[in-house]
Structure 1
Amino acid sequence: MADLSRTAVVALATAVAVVVNLVVYAIGRAAGGSFLFTADGRRVEVDAVTVAGFSALPLALGLTAVALLASRFAWVVRAALTIGPALAVLTIATMTLPADLDTTSTITLAVCHLTLAPIIVVAVTALGRRARRATAGPVAA
């Protein structure tokens, strides 16, 4: 990712997250996960569109914030390297575990959250490198 623009880093990381999580979801489906839970007194299903959206939107928003702020505030990269993966794990405890999903669905969706952690680290690191290069200016030959 070293030669990619900030926009390309965000887009590529988001696309990778969506593809990886859709593969994990497909495996969970094949293993018998129903992905049904109760919300507002009715049964609701986590479908592929939901998995894609919950993978893409928070990741794209967070990485966009890092891309925009990293060149002005070096601490943003360090914070994102901690906060991003922590949120991916924390959302397991706040979203996945409290739902009355079957075991296969719970494990599958937890893995979907966990896959975001390394993707965040790689993307934020790439964005941090780009920001450092941009603030360092041209290198004399």
Structure 2
Amino acid sequence: MNVVLRESVDGLGKKGDVVEVADGYARNFLIPAGKAFKSSAGAERQAERMRRSRELRDAKELAEAQEMASRLVSTPIHIAARAGAEGKLFGSVTTADVVRAVAEQANIMLERKALSSEGIKELGSHMVTAKPHPEVEFPITVEVIATQ
């Protein structure tokens, strides 16, 4: 059965795609859950409009992510944390701390889940990888300094 996806479904397609699936999968899951509707001539035109709007939105998000990367790659982010005599932190600097510092210092809003880091546990310079868009990945330099 051909269906038009109303939203992205992992392993199947993105919003507006016309895909062929098993009849039972469409009748028992996709259509009742509101994730798809049966394909027809009118539905094909609607799917084309959905794809165009998705492509425009994706292009805008990609441009925003590239602009964000160009601003953050060259700017180190400074985070103050309490540390012991040997440079070990009391606790750690988490991705939430990095997001907050980026928002304050660079005026850029990132999502915590766009950052990959296990948590910084020492003073010094560290690299945190940001991936705000599937096609854009860049390093952020985080300088952890000691406070009293």
Fold equivalence (TM over 0.5)? no
Normalized per residue, which structure has more strand?
Answer: 2
**Higher Rg:** 2
Q: Which of the pair has the greater relative contact order for Cα pairs under 8 Å at 6+ separation?
A: 1
Q: TM-score, normalised by structure 1?
A: 0.32
